[in-house]
Chains A and B, each alone.
Chain A
């Protein structure tokens, strides 16, 4: 069964460093998403991406964040200068279509720890 994969599973970085989180969405999906979940809190939407551009983004997704689909398979989230409060689980998701009813498939997540 096709699934969304994410690497690395755990990333530890120093405050102020840049990190890139990687995701491989399900191959025939066209819509891609990043979410984050701070420990003990609810999942929060960051950004959606379609046709090589951002569709929507939340207020969390400030200038420190960027997304890219560098090739036909990978979808990346970059944090330019990490802050302590960026420590969280980051989930990538993908869907076949962008309708509000369409199911999103989530990856296993990357746990980011900023020291």
Chain B
């Protein structure tokens, strides 16, 4: 069964600190992996999309890594800001799948404290 597991479930850090969120998946065959940011009461917003051949991808202070061999991804946030408080969702698509091929993780709820 295709699954996406994220850790930690929630995380609290001080403003200005770095953090890393983890995503493990069992989706196969793999097509791409996405990280989304979801503010409370809002829809998810795409941060990165990574294919099998991409190991690292950055979007400002967000850097995603992908190890397709171990089926793990991480999202690293540098110099956190209060506006980074949100849920971060890992989404994996299997090859040949359409929209129903997207498997969502439950997300990591990140709180940045001043």
Contact = CB atoms under 8 A, between A and B. Distances in A.
A binds B: yes
Interface of A: 4, 31, 33, 41-45, 48, 55-58, 91, 93, 98, 100-101, 103-109, 111
A100 B31 contact: yes
Interface of B: 31-32, 41-46, 49, 51, 89, 91, 93, 95-102, 104-107
B51 A101 contact: yes
A106 B101 CA distance: 17
A56 B98 contact: yes
Contacts of A107: 43
User: Chain B's interface: helix, strand, loop or mixed, by majority?
Assistant: mixed
Nearest to A102: B49
A104 B93 CA distance: 12
A55 B45 CA distance: 23
Contacts of B46: 103-105
B45 A57 contact: no
A48 B97 CA distance: 12
Contact of A106 (B31, B45, B106, B107): B45
A56 B104 CA distance: 17
B85 to A, nearest CB: 17
B44 A106 contact: yes
Contact of A93 (B43, B49, B100): B43
